[in-house]
């Protein structure tokens, strides 16, 4: 049996109708939406199919919707008979990893992710912010951009996501983020791009969300994963339930160490790495890692891309 590493994107990966085609063709995928709907108290599949892009971007809906769609896609991929040996998720995409590794039940994960979205939405309502990707400047340069922006504006901005060595997201107050982007360009960044999210995630602006979110995390039952799940907070596989709980809490304000997390996943040498999500966000970053070697990296979002994976696995088997 071929081994696989599974990766799951977070906010910004959402698309209208995500997961719907697979839910219409795989009972396992449809069951994800049905169970999520029973937890949330509304028809999630109907909402995903009919929401506008702006509605779907709002964190109160996007988090449970992306989580459910990601796992629904995985359940369809699971029918191909690959053996998962490692998984990682970007931001709250990690809840998908913990779910498929039996560290948390699906229905409890939906509830926690929903509470996370609600708490973060409330925090964003009180203190709106921005996130922006800085391309072509290293961590030291982006950190310096943030430092200068804090000095000139008196507002908050810091590193949010360390996606690659030269693709780094900043997060904070809108004016400070915009200032950091301008400074980053002066320091040599090739370009900057405001992200398709509704708040300043992974920054100190999310501190007001912590009490509500902490109650949800404290109440959920967690187990050790049945295969390796790499935390995007510490960029290492989890070694205890207490560590999982601690990192889930910390992830609300801590920056995402995705580059290191991806390196740790590739080091476990699965036969294939598969991104399960509506948009191809993480797979291109994995493909550019110097350690990727000959490991194929695929993305599955619908029937067509599932067939692409199936064809690729057949070619590898041959």
Active site residues per annotation: 91, 202
Q: 125: which 2 tokens? A: 């309502």
- DSSP category for residue 254: S
Q: Is the dihedral of CA 234, 221, 85, 63 positive or negative?
A: negative
- For residues 300 and 73, is the Cβ–Cβ distance under 8 A? yes
Q: Considering only CA atoms, which of 301, 227, 291 is closest in space to residue 264? A: 291
Q: How far apart are CA 4 and CA 186, in angstroms?
A: 42
**For tokens 């399960």, what's the residue?**
276
Residue 172 zone, left/alpha/beta (φ > 0; ψ -120 to 50; rest): left
- For residues 7 and 273, is the Cβ–Cβ distance under 8 A? yes
Angle (CA) 245 229 224, round 5°: 55
The string over 299-315, giving b where at least 16 C-beta atoms fall within 10 Å of a residue's C-beta and e elsewhere, is bbbbeebbeebeeebee
Q: How far apart are CA 114 and CA 65, in angstroms?
A: 9
DSSP per-residue codes, 41-75: TS-HHHHHHH--HHHHHSHHHHHHHHHHHHHHHHH
Q: How far apart are CA 206 and CA 249, in angstroms?
A: 11
Q: Considering only CA atoms, which of 253, 234, 255 is closest in space to residue 160? A: 255
């Amino acid at each position: 049996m071929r081994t696989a590493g599974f990766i799951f994107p977070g906010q910004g990966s959402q698309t209208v109708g995500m997961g719907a085609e697979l839910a219409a063709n795989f009972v396992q995928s449809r069951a994800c939406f049905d169970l999520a709907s029973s937890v949330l108290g509304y028809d999630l599949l109907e909402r995903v199919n009919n929401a506008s892009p702006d509605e779907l971007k709002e964190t109160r809906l996007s988090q449970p919707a992306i989580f459910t769609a990601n796992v629904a896609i995985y359940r369809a991929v699971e029918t191909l008979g690959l053996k998962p040996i490692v998984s990682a998720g970007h931001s709250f995409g990690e809840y998908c990893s913990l779910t498929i590794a039996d560290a948390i039940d699906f229905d409890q994960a939906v509830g926690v992710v929903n509470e996370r979205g609600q708490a973060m939405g409330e925090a964003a309502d009180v203190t709106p912010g921005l996130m922006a990707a800085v391309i072509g400047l290293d961590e030291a340069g982006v950190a310096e951009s943030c430092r200068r922006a804090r000095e000139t504006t008196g507002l908050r901005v810091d590193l949010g996501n360390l996606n690659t060595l030269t693709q780094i997201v900043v997060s904070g107050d809108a004016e400070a983020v915009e200032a950091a982007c301008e400074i980053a360009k002066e320091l040599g960044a090739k370009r900057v791009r405001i992200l398709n999210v509704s708040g300043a995630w992974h920054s100190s602006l999310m501190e007001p969300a912590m009490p509500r979110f902490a109650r949800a995390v404290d109440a959920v039952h967690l187990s050790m994963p049945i295969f390796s799940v790499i935390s995007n907070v510490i960029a290492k596989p989890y070694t205890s339930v207490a560590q999982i709980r601690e990192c889930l809490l910390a992830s609300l304000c801590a920056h995402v160490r995705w580059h290191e997390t991806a390196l740790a996943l590739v080091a476990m040498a699965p036969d294939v790495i598969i991104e399960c999500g509506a948009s191809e966000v993480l797979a291109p970053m994995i493909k550019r890692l110097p350690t990727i070697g000959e490991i194929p990296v695929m993305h599955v979002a619908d029937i067509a891309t599932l067939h692409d994976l199936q064809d690729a696995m057949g070619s590898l088997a041959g």
